[in-house]
């Protein structure tokens, strides 16, 4: 039986349509298949973030004696003890900013583990919802980290390796989540990400302005040449250390205009600084002892006089404790 040309055309048409259908089905099947490697990467990154922020939090609570921070000396101490390093603090409660980062990474890790267990089909709405959560949380975290990095370099003017590492981790999770989520349309992703980023940025700027000590300094000292106010609080260990320094006649020579002097005092905290013996060396500073500083040969600030020896530069409290021969608790 011979087929006509018209019949051949129809058969070819059906075959082509069937091939197209199978190709679309295969593509759709692949598209519905969940990618494993983004979840693995996010799990690893969030675990590193947990260790990073958890270490900082434990150090802040006095459970770690010290952190080995690569980079500029005292950089991490300066940043983490700055007004921007704490969310809330009083005599009973201390909530460092790193605790918020720890909770963020923990949330991302828990969601990623749920997705990795394959308890939810990639086609279910709950699966997409969990990917949306990772995307939006990491978007918020990346935006806030960007703000903190700017504050660190422009306001605090110090370098903290752990803070930069956290920012890199947040941004990496954010990028990976866009790949792993496989959003069907870019428009909702861009719109929601933009809304979250703008909200976090505005809220962060308001918070940053409220805790910025420079906004209070001008009101408190409009005419007198005195040091900026100390905004950090002191642990009992720091107060006891400061009392020891004063009792041992160990003196800190300072100048009201010196930013490093302010950083040194910030490391002690406002309660401990009241116990220190601080000599104002600026000739135009309030209650200055300019002639004594000249007689001692003080040329750099801050300077410490320990057992008759002058040591210049801001010092880590643990280093200062060793030089002073302090035998008390050093969980600063």
Domain boundaries along the sequence of the chain: 37-212, 236-324
What is residue 233's predicted lDDT score, i.e. its pLDDT? Answer: 83
Pick the CATH number of 37-212 from 1.20.1440.130, 1.20.120.1760, 3.40.350.10, 3.40.50.620: 1.20.1440.130
* Lowest mean pLDDT across 22-36, 127-141, 146-160, 181-195: 22-36
Q: In the CATH hierarchy, which top-level class contains the domain 236-324?
A: alpha beta
Same fold, 37-212 and 236-324: no
Is beta strand 277-280 parallel, antiparallel or unpaired with respect to 309-312? unpaired
What is residue 202's predicted lDDT score, i.e. its pLDDT? Answer: 96
Would you say 74 and 314 are in contact if contact means Cβ atoms under 8 Å apart? yes
What is residue 289's predicted lDDT score, i.e. its pLDDT? Answer: 94
Given pLDDT bands bounded at 50, 70 and 90, which one contains residue 60? confident
Neighbours of 93 (CB within 10 A): 7
Given pLDDT bands bounded at 50, 70 and 90, which one contains residue 28? very low
The backbone torsions φ and ψ at residue 277, rounded to the nearest 5 degrees and listed phi first, read -95, 100
Would you say 300 and 312 are in contact if contact means Cβ atoms under 8 Å apart? yes
Given pLDDT bands bounded at 50, 70 and 90, which one contains residue 33? low
Q: What is the mean pLDDT of residues 30-51?
A: 84
pLDDT higher than threshold 80 for residue 92: no
* Lowest mean pLDDT across 210-224, 233-247, 300-314: 210-224
Average pLDDT, the chain: 83
What is residue 95's predicted lDDT score, i.e. its pLDDT? Answer: 86
pLDDT higher than threshold 70 for residue 297: yes
What global pTM score does this model have?
0.64
Cβ neighbourhood burial of 251 (10 Å; 0-12, 13-18, 19+): buried
Given pLDDT bands bounded at 50, 70 and 90, which one contains residue 173? very high
Would you say 264 and 252 are in contact if contact means Cβ atoms under 8 Å apart? yes
Per-residue CA distances from 89 to 72, 96, 106, 200 (Å): 27, 8, 23, 22
State what percent of residues in the chain have pLDDT above 70: 81
**Between 242 and 20, where is the model more confident?**
242
pLDDT higher than threshold 60 for residue 25: no
* Euclidean distance between CA atoms 110 and 113, whole angstroms: 5
**Long-range contacts of residues 152-156, Cβ cutoff 8 Å, at least 24 apart:** 152/79, 152/84, 155/84, 155/208, 155/212, 156/78, 156/79, 156/82, 156/84
Q: How many residues does the chain have?
A: 332
Q: Show the beta-strand stretches assigned E in the chain.
A: 86-89, 94-96, 251-254, 277-280, 303-306, 309-312
Would you say 279 and 237 are in contact if contact means Cβ atoms under 8 Å apart? no
What is residue 58's predicted lDDT score, i.e. its pLDDT? Answer: 86
Is beta strand 303-306 parallel, antiparallel or unpaired with respect to 309-312? antiparallel
Token couple for 128: 């997409």
Given pLDDT bands bounded at 50, 70 and 90, which one contains residue 46? very high
**Between 314 and 278, where is the model more confident?**
278
Given pLDDT bands bounded at 50, 70 and 90, which one contains residue 275? very high
């Amino acid at each position: 039986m011979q087929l006509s040309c018209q019949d051949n055309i129809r058969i070819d048409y059906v075959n082509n349509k069937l091939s197209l259908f199978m190709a679309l089905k295969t593509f759709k099947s692949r598209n519905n298949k969940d990618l494993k490697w983004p979840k693995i990467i996010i799990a690893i990154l969030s675990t590193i973030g947990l260790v990073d922020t958890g270490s900082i939090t434990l150090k802040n609570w006095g459970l770690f004696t010290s952190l080995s921070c690569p980079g500029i000396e005292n950089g991490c101490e300066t940043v983490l003890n700055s007004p921007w390093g704490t969310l809330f603090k009083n005599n009973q409660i201390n909530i460092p900013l790193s605790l918020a980062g720890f909770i963020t990474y923990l949330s991302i890790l828990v969601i990623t583990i749920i997705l990795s267990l394959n308890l939810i089909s990639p086609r279910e709405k709950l699966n997409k919802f969990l990917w949306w959560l990772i995307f939006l949380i990491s978007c918020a975290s990346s935006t806030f980290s960007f703000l903190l990095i700017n504050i660190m370099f422009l306001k605090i003017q110090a370098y903290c390796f752990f803070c930069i590492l956290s920012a890199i981790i947040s941004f990496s999770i954010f990028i990976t989540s866009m790949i792993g989520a496989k959003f069907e349309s870019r428009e909702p992703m861009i719109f929601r990400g933009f809304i979250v980023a703008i909200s976090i940025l505005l809220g962060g700027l308001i918070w940053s302005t409220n805790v910025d000590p420079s906004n209070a300094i001008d009101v408190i000292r409009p005419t007198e040449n005195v040091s900026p106010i100390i905004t950090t609080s002191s642990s009992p260990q720091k107060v006891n250390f400061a009392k020891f320094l004063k009792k041992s006649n160990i003196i800190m020579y300072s100048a009201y205009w010196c930013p490093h002097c302010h950083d040194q005092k910030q490391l002690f905290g406002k309660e401990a600084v009241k116990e220190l013996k601080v000599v104002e060396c600026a000739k135009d500073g309030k209650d200055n002892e300019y002639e004594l500083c000249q007689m001692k040969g003080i040329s750099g600030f801050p300077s410490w006089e320990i057992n008759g020896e002058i040591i210049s530069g801001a010092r880590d409290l643990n280093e200062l404790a060793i030089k002073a021969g302090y035998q008390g608790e050093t969980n600063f």
